């Protein structure tokens, strides 16, 4: 399963960092879009929006 989540640009990087700190692993990323997965392989795409 993969979920896409749009967050304000000033919040998105911190949310990705929190997900990784909680055990997620980063898959790829750019300045406006990041992909991460939990240990079970469920993914999330975080998109920064103005």
Measured on CA atoms in the order 12, 18, 24, 26, is the torsion positive or negative?
positive
Give the residue extent of every domain in the chain: 2-49
pLDDT at residue 14 in the model = 95
Q: Measure the CA–CA gap between 20 and 8, rounded to whole angstroms.
A: 19
d(CA 31, CA 13): 9
Q: What is the pLDDT of residue 1?
A: 85
Q: What pLDDT score was predicted for residue 36?
A: 95
Residues 1-48: tens digit of each pLDDT: 899 999 999 999 999 999 999 999 999 999 899 999 999 999 999 999
In our burial notation (b when 16+ CB lie closer than 10 A, e otherwise), range 16-49 reads beebeeeebeeeeeeeeebbbeeeeeeebbbebe
In this prediction, residue 31 carries a pLDDT of: 86
| CATH of the domain spanning 2-49, picked from 3.30.720.120, 3.90.245.10, 1.20.1250.20, 3.40.1160.10 | 3.30.720.120
């Amino acid at each position: 399963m993969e979920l896409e989540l749009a967050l304000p640009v000033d919040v998105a990087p911190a949310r990705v960092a929190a997900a990784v700190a909680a055990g997620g692993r980063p898959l790829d990323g750019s300045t406006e879009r990041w992909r991460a997965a939990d240990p079970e392989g469920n993914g999330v795409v975080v998109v920064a929006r103005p």
